Amino acid sequence: MVEGKKNGSTSSSSRASSLKYISLCVLVVQNAAMVLSSRWSRTVPGDMYMSTTAVVCAEVTKLLTCLVILGVEHRAGLIPFLWHHLVVQYVDCLKLAVPALLYTAQNNLLFVAIGNLDAATFQVTYQLKILTTALFSVILLRKSLRSLQWFALVLLFCGVSIVQVQQQQQKSNQSDNNSNQSSSPAQNQLVGLGAVLVGCLSSGFAGVYFEKILKGTQASVWLRNVQLGLFGTVLGLFGMAMKDGSAVVDKGFFFGYSLLVWSVIAQQAFGGLLVAIVVKYADNILKGFATSLAIVLSCVASIFLFDFHLSFKFGVGTALVILAVYLYSLPSREETAVLPSSNQKSSEASG
């Protein structure tokens, strides 16, 4: 009886471990594909769609997908289930308003930062979200990181920064060759740095807070995404009205939409669901490593798609990212010592 329970727990833990690494690998590919397709959708000739409407569509798509999954799970009991978790337990539902508001604030802060910093400075400082995520994981989730893992996080920060700066320098060189701008709007570097630092703190806290909610309750990932999607849709509509309200009224909500744009929206919605699964079965730090690898992968793919040129800086940055992933995944001495002893005990018990 005891042995059966042990076998059941072992199989469930191995299943969760497999799901963790599968979801991380899929996240790497999905992030890289979304970056490439998003870039492609913004460079093809024709009418340009409004990004704020695409954000709303992605949130609605994610929300409807989760509702369909919950409908399959609960069938006739879906309405009472949603009423209980969205209305009766409204306090629990309101917890998801925190990350939704923080993500919205983060996006607005990044627009302020981009407007007040040069591209290279913004790209480097924005990678501090890797370290703020680790910091909040230690504070909120009581996660313990070894010194080697902290070193790996710093290496990851350096590697991604080098890759991003090199990529941005190529974009700047291309824009300098194609246009002659005599003047640029005034920038306040202090305001820009403050905005990007607060944005990094907001990103780290929101991600870890969402992870804590997912892992701290019995509610499914699909229910949590419905709750998050409700707030995300409302905030997305608010942002659309503030930024592109007059343009939507004049041109229409779906102005500039094509099959490629709908593909980007579908990828973005799928990415949102995938992130929730990764956070549920892995953590935000591993998610950061996955998105960093996706940046490198998208840059490599850009060589063939967008005439991207490799450089020594890109090689160094890529090497640092790969080294960081390897160092972070190394088992501790205690873990390597436990494995032989546990194998020895199991062989003695079977003998």
Span 299-320, pLDDT tens digits = 777 777 666 666 777 778 778 8
pLDDT in tens, 143-193: 888 888 888 888 888 887 787 766 666 555 555 555 444 444 566 778 888
Whole-number Å distance between alpha carbons of 55 and 107: 12
pLDDT at 9 over 70: no
Phi, psi of 331 (to 5 degrees): -70, 155
Query: Mind listing the pLDDT tens digit for each residue in 24-73?
Result: 788 778 877 877 787 778 777 888 888 889 889 988 999 999 999 999 98
Is it the case that residue 246 has pLDDT exceeding 90? Answer: yes
Q: Which of 1-10, 26-35, 123-132, 198-207 has the highest mean pLDDT?
A: 198-207
Measured CA to CA, the distance from residue 215 to residue 217 in angstroms comes to 6
What average pLDDT does range 61-87 have in this prediction? 90
Q: In the predicted model, what is the mean pLDDT of residues 262-279?
A: 84
Q: pLDDT class for 197, splitting at 50, 70, 90?
A: confident
pLDDT at 292 over 60: yes
Please tell me the distance from the alpha carbon of residue 222 to that of residue 94, in angstroms, as a whole number.
16
The pLDDT score that the predictor gives to residue 267 is: 86
For residues 38 and 315, give the distance between their C-alpha atoms in angstroms, rounded to a whole number.
Answer: 24
Percent of the chain with pLDDT over 90: 13
Q: Nearest 5°: phi and psi at 86? A: -100, -30
Q: How far apart (Å, rounded) are the C-alpha atoms in residues 261 and 267?
A: 10
CA atoms within 13 A on the CB side of 200: 22
- How far is the C-alpha of 232 from the C-alpha of 105, rounded, in Å? 12
Count Cβ atoms below 10 Å from residue 229 Cβ, excluding itself: 26
Considering only 19-23, 165-169, 178-182, 196-200, which range has the smallest mean pLDDT? 178-182
Is residue 85 predicted with pLDDT exceeding 80? yes
| For residue 338, pLDDT beyond 50 | no
* Residue in 6, 37, 21, 14 with CA at minimum distance from that of residue 264: 37
What pLDDT is recorded for position 346? 46
**Whether pLDDT at 220 is above 50:** yes
Are 332 and 167 contacting, i.e. CB atoms less than 8 angstroms apart?
Answer: no
Answer with the residue of higher pLDDT: 208 or 6: 208
Mean pLDDT rounded to a whole number for the chain = 77
Q: What is the pTM of this model?
A: 0.71
Task: Say how far apart CA 325 and CA 339 lie, in whole Å.
Answer: 22
What gap in Å lies between CA 215 and CA 198, rounded to an integer?
Answer: 26
Q: Minimal CA–CA distance to 36: which of 270, 257, 278, 294?
A: 294
Q: What is the pLDDT of residue 339?
A: 45
pLDDT score at 326: 76
Band the pLDDT of 213: cuts 50, 70, 90. confident
**Longest CA–CA separation in the chain, Å:** 83
Would you tell me how many other CB atoms lie within 10 Å of the CB of residue 279? 23
Tell me: pLDDT of 290 over 80: no
Both tokens assigned to 202: 């907001």
Token pair 């998801």 is found at: 96
Q: Give the residue from 227, 286, 295, 285 showing the smallest Cα distance to 91.
A: 227
